[in-house]
């Protein structure tokens, strides 16, 4: 297989279309889908050499697959990361990052505003292996600093965070990690490399749920871990090979092709979300709107310093708590009630009773997740239709 021309000087939009492509002897223009579990060797000697790592080549799709490799290479180039490994889902990426490197006695510091399942892994799974944690307010840099211990090996955060869209100062937290000899892990699912590249701010590892904006059309699950060579060699590679959270070549192909329109889609998601956020802010029974690029977002300046767009998610509060929030959701005629996000279709969820229902009322209050809060993933429909749908539903609520 021939590798594509040198991507060294390409700009991000070119990388998104052509990065990591490998062509077979047929010189196909679109990336090939290699639906194969195994690979044949010329002879027994070649099999031996590949297993010993003395010869290049694929062995088994749990270890690697050409379509998956193309997706990994394109993701690495877009994030500005040395290497990438794809996984079956975003949660497989997060879990493998922790379990491949951490051991009994280690400690993790994490921002408490995070995706519900990530919080489960940190609070319920890691302690079973003797790995402790401290949860902090991600926006408060002093809390990160004072949570550090000699045993701290990883700092984990999401920015913008789900569902409050709180922003964490990547540079400041990376410095704390660096000083403590720990790695900063950033979940970049909400922003995508089209809007935010955490490696530029000092991140050591970036994880993704490519299920969200990278797929962008609500079709296939996937995840990615991006890291430096040392982490791959010392921890990740052997763990992934032997535990098997591998991405299916078919899903890799779907996400690889989706990357070609990521930049276009993210610009439209941001434009639509900004319009919907401004519209909601003027509605009488909407008490609060959270959108990173609106001047009334508490960390508006930081968001603009780290991100190239405010993203596609808008969070808002309706007057009247859970009853009003449910009334709004049930009256929507265009926007779907769904906990997924990053789809071309606009999706809305009530975090207090869905994504964050596992948390106690106190833990929800600490995150600012109120009973009237709705998280809206703004899709690519005409924003006027979305605003009309919201207007009639707010009236009905
Ligand atoms: C969805 C999501 C995940 C989990 O990804 P899956 O692909 O659903 O496993 C992790 N982090 C964030 C921020 C997410 O939005």
pLDDT digits (tens, 9 = 90+) for 300-335: 999 999 999 999 999 999 999 999 999 999 999 999
Separation between Cα atoms, residue 195 and residue 242, nearest integer Å: 34
Task: Determine the residue of 98, 117, 347, 367 to mutate for testing ligand 1's pocket, defined as the one with the most ligand atoms within 8 A of the Cβ atom.
Answer: 117
Residues with CB under 6 A from ligand 1: 89-91, 115, 117-118, 158, 162, 187, 189-190, 209, 211-212, 221, 223
Q: Is the peptide bond before 160 cis (omega within 30 degrees of 0)?
A: yes
Mean pLDDT, all residues of the chain? 96
Chain-centroid distance of CA 194 in Å reads 12
Is 192 found in the same domain as 180?
Answer: yes
Q: Count of domains in the chain? A: 2
Is 274 found in the same domain as 170?
Answer: no
Distance 351 CA to ligand 1 centre (A): 14
Contact 115, 369 (CB under 8 A): no
Is 270 found in the same domain as 236?
Answer: no
Distance 115 CA to ligand 1 centre (A): 7
Distance 9 CA to ligand 1 centre (A): 31
Those residues whose C-beta lies under 8 Å from the C-beta of residue 40, and which sit 6 or more positions away, are none
Is 239 found in the same domain as 386?
Answer: no
Query: In this predicted structure, what is the pLDDT of residue 70?
Result: 98
Comparing 141 with 116, the larger pLDDT belongs to: 141
Query: In this predicted structure, what is the pLDDT of residue 195?
Result: 98
Separation between Cα atoms, residue 97 and residue 80, nearest integer Å: 18
Query: In this predicted structure, what is the pLDDT of residue 397?
Result: 83
Judged against a pLDDT cut of 60, whether residue 4 lies above it is answered with: no
3-state secondary structure of 15: helix
Judged against a pLDDT cut of 60, whether residue 5 lies above it is answered with: no
Domain with 200, as residue range(s), is: 2-261
Task: Determine the residue of 160, 185, 189, 225 to mutate for testing ligand 1's pocket, defined as the one with the most ligand atoms within 8 A of the Cβ atom.
Answer: 189
Nearest by Cα to 395 from 328, 314, 322: 328
Percent of the chain with pLDDT over 90: 95
Comparing 196 with 115, the larger pLDDT belongs to: 196
Query: In this predicted structure, what is the pLDDT of residue 1?
Result: 66
Residue nearest to atom 11 of ligand 1 (CA): 115
Segment 170-195 shows an average pLDDT of: 98
The CA distances from residue 343 to 22, 37, 279, 333, 386, in Å, are 28, 30, 21, 17, 14
Q: Which of 261, 293, 312 is the last residue of a domain?
A: 261
Nearest by Cα to 132 from 117, 150, 145, 115: 150
Is 275 found in the same domain as 249?
Answer: no
Q: What digits encode the pLDDT tens for the residues 363-380? A: 999 999 999 999 999 999
DSSP state of 233: I
Residue nearest to atom 2 of ligand 1 (CA): 209
Nearest by Cα to 201 from 180, 218, 184: 184
* Secondary structure tally for the chain: helices H, strands E: 16, 14
Query: In this predicted structure, what is the pLDDT of residue 386?
Result: 98
Is 95 found in the same domain as 43?
Answer: yes
Structure tokens at 366: 């600490």
Those residues whose C-beta lies under 8 Å from the C-beta of residue 164, and which sit 6 or more positions away, are 113, 290, 315, 367, 368, 369
Is 240 found in the same domain as 118?
Answer: yes
Query: In this predicted structure, what is the pLDDT of residue 35?
Result: 98
Q: Which of 261, 280, 308 is the last residue of a domain?
A: 261
Query: In this predicted structure, what is the pLDDT of residue 9?
Result: 82
Instruction: CATH number of the domain at 63, please.
Output: 3.40.640.10
Q: Give the ranges where the chain is alpha helix by DSSP (H).
A: 12-18, 44-51, 66-79, 90-101, 116-120, 141-147, 170-179, 192-195, 229-231, 237-243, 249-259, 262-281, 300-306, 321-331, 361-367, 383-396
Contact 378, 266 (CB under 8 A): no
Kindly report the number of other CB atoms within 10 A of residue 242's CB atom: 9
Query: In this predicted structure, what is the pLDDT of residue 8?
Result: 66
DSSP state of 207: E
pTM: 0.96
Q: Which of 237, 261, 285 is the last residue of a domain?
A: 261
Residue nearest to atom 8 of ligand 1 (CA): 90
**φ, ψ (nearest 5 deg) of residue 354:** -125, -90
Ligand 1, atom nearest to 340 Cα: 1
Is 242 found in the same domain as 116?
Answer: yes
Those residues whose C-beta lies under 8 Å from the C-beta of residue 36, and which sit 6 or more positions away, are 61, 65, 249
3-state secondary structure of 106: coil
Is 232 found in the same domain as 168?
Answer: yes
Segment 335-345 shows an average pLDDT of: 97
Determine what percent of the chain falls in helix, strand and coil, rounding each to the nearest 5: 40, 15, 40
Q: Per mean pLDDT, which range of 142-151, 263-272, 356-365 is the poorest?
A: 356-365
Is 274 found in the same domain as 204?
Answer: no
Nearest by Cα to 281 from 266, 297, 269, 265: 297
Residue in the structure block whose two tokens are 């991405």:
247
The CA distances from residue 390 to 113, 281, 338, 370, 385, in Å, are 27, 12, 16, 20, 9
Separation between Cα atoms, residue 132 and residue 152, nearest integer Å: 9
Task: Determine the residue of 192, 207, 209, 377 to mutate for testing ligand 1's pocket, defined as the one with the most ligand atoms within 8 A of the Cβ atom.
Answer: 209
Is 225 found in the same domain as 140?
Answer: yes
Residue in the structure block whose two tokens are 């996400």:
255
Segment 57-75 shows an average pLDDT of: 97
Where on the phi/psi map is residue 365: left (φ > 0), alpha (ψ -120 to 50), or beta?
A: alpha
Structure tokens at 334: 């265009």
Instruction: CATH number of the domain at 295, please.
Output: 3.90.1150.10
Is 332 found in the same domain as 238?
Answer: no
Separation between Cα atoms, residue 205 and residue 96, nearest integer Å: 12
């Amino acid at each position: 297989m021939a590798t594509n021309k040198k991507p060294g000087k390409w700009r991000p939009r070119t990388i998104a279309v052509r990065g990591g492509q490998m062509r077979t002897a047929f010189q196909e223009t679109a990336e090939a889908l290699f639906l194969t579990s195994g690979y044949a060797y010329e002879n027994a000697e070649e099999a031996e050499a590949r297993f010993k790592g003395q010869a290049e080549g694929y062995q088994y799709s749990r270890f690697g697959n050409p379509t998956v490799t193309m997706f990994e290479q394109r993701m690495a180039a877009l994030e500005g990361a040395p290497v990438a490994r794809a996984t079956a889902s975003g949660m497989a990426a997060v879990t493998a990052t922790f379990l491949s490197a951490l051991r009994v006695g280690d400690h993790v510091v994490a921002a408490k505003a995070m995706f519900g399942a990530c919080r489960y892994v940190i609070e319920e799974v890691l302690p079973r292996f003797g790995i402790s944690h401290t949860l902090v307010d991600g926006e408060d840099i002093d809390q990160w600093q004072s949570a550090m211990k000699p045993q701290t090996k990883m700092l984990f955060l999401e920015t913008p965070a789900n569902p409050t869209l709180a922003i964490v100062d990547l540079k400041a937290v990376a410095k704390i990690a660096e000083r403590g000899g720990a790695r900063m892990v950033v979940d970049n699912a909400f922003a995508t490399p089209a809007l935010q590249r955490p490696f530029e701010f000092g991140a050591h590892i970036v994880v993704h749920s490519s299920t969200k904006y990278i797929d962008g059309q609500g079709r296939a699950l996937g995840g990615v871990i991006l890291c430096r060579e040392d982490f791959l060699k010392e921890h990740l590679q052997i763990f992934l090979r032997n535990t098997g959270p591998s991405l299916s070549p078919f899903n890799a192909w779907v996400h690889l092709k989706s990357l070609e329109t990521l930049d276009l889609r993210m610009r439209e998601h941001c434009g639509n979300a900004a319009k919907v956020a401004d519209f909601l802010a003027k509605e009488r029974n909407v008490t609060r709107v959270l959108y990173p690029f609106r001047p009334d977002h508490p960390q508006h300046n930081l968001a603009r310093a780290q991100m190239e767009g405010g993203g596609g998610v808008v969070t808002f509060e309706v007057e009247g708590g859970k009853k009003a929030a449910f009334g709004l959701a049930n009256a929507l005629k265009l926007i779907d009630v769904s906990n997924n996000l990053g789809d071309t279709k606009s999706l809305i969820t009530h975090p207090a009773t869905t994504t964050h229902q596992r948390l106690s009322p106190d833990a929800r209050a600490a995150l600012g997740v109120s009973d009237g809060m709705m998280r809206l993933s703004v899709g690519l429909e005409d924003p006027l239709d979305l605003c009309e749908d919201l207007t009639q539903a707010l009236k009905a609520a």
